[in-house]
Copies of this chain bind each other. A is one copy, B any other.
Amino acid sequence: MRTTRAGLADVARRAGVSPATASRVLSGSGPASPASRAAVLAAAEQLDYRPHPVARQLAGGSGSRVVFAVRDERADILRDPFVTRATAAMAAALLPYAMGVALRHVGLDCAADLDELAGDRGLAALVLAGHDRAMPAALPPRLRGRTAVIGAGGADVDSAAGVGVLLTHLYLLGRRRIALIAGPAWLAASAAPVAAYRELTRSAGLPARIVRGDFTSARGRVAARAVLRRWPDTDAIATVSDATALGALQALAGLGIRVPDDVAVTGFDDVPLASAVSPALSTATHPVEEIAAAAVRSALGEVVPVTLFPSSPVFRATA
């Protein structure tokens, strides 16, 4: 049993080449003859060589961790199901990179926080969520090229299409007075669903009933009550988050309104327990794991195709 792990020097020696050559073939960059390439690979195999991630990061100057910065008014956004799920997904995606993710909250006015992050030499990349339209352009120079964004303009779900399908479904169900509990106005990602809603209601000749929410169920309760107070004949409520939808369901239950008989409800995101509530929530499911992984890879400099991720409707009991 070897007491200490084989290093690059050991591999090089065994392969009969210099450490530089060994480094070139093992790190995949730089020229190398087929012969020495094979020798190095074989030696690495035999010695069970594993590069030392930290040394590699120091020498390469790349930093060792990804920071996931979530912008929101509330600090407890870090407990939001979407945030925890995305964080876990990044943590899983970073495993093969020998890196990890750190999580932090930043307020709506976060220029100073971003500057601080820009000065962190241990930072490999930054993933940002909760941005508004102006932020990506206002990033500190040092962060440029190593920042990815989750939501509008970055790794994003096709929320316009997703909400569109849900709204269409409600329409086909015979609903004609559909309200939307939208996301907060300061959030860039809020725009697409609202646009989709406006477009569909306009073209179908339906009234537009929009109320702002956030991503909490408490706000969903309040918003649903507001909707029914203002437009008592509402027969469907679409939302842009499951938490909001569940809050709305509670409000409706409290008002003695039957779901979906009197009012249909749709969520968005398909949180883990959306299928486990009763009535089970109709919503749209999103590949959050893939989105988070794409964001991480993009932030780390890989070129990932900038496609919108699909939003697939899941029709359960509430709509």
Contact = CB atoms under 8 A, between A and B. Distances in A.
Interface of A: 5, 48, 50, 52-55, 57-58, 63-68, 78-81, 83-85, 87-88, 91-92, 94-95, 98-104, 119-122, 217, 220, 242-243, 246-247, 249-250, 253, 271-273, 275-278, 280, 289
Contacts of A122: 52-54, 64, 98
A314 to B, nearest CB: 15
Complex copy number for this chain = 2
Contacts of A280: 250
Contact of A273 (B50, B64, B271, B278): B271
Contacts of A87: 84, 87-88, 91
A262 B138 CA distance: 59
A243 B68 contact: no
Contact of A101 (B79, B102, B243): B102
A232 to B, nearest CB: 21
A94 B64 CA distance: 13
A99 B278 contact: no
B101 A273 contact: no
A102 B97 CA distance: 9
A133 to B, nearest CB: 26
A78 B55 contact: no
A114 B168 CA distance: 50
Interface class of chain A by DSSP: mixed
A253 to B, nearest CB: 5
A120 to B, nearest CB: 7
Contact of A54 (B54, B79, B220, B273): B54
Contacts of A119: 5, 48, 50
A250 B275 CA distance: 9
Contacts of A53: 64, 120-122
B104 A95 contact: yes
Given A84-B85, A217-B276, A101 B104 contact: no
Given A91-B100, A94-B102, 18 more contacts: A53-B122, A54-B54, A54-B57, A54-B121, A57-B64, A65-B99, A78-B92, A81-B273, A84-B87, A98-B102, A98-B120, A99-B100, A217-B275, A246-B273, A250-B277, A250-B280, A277-B277, A277-B278
Given A121-B53, A217-B273, A95 B91 contact: no
8 contacts: A5-B119, A50-B121, A53-B64, A54-B58, A64-B122, A65-B98, A79-B289, A277-B278
Contacts of A102: 91-92, 94-95, 98-101
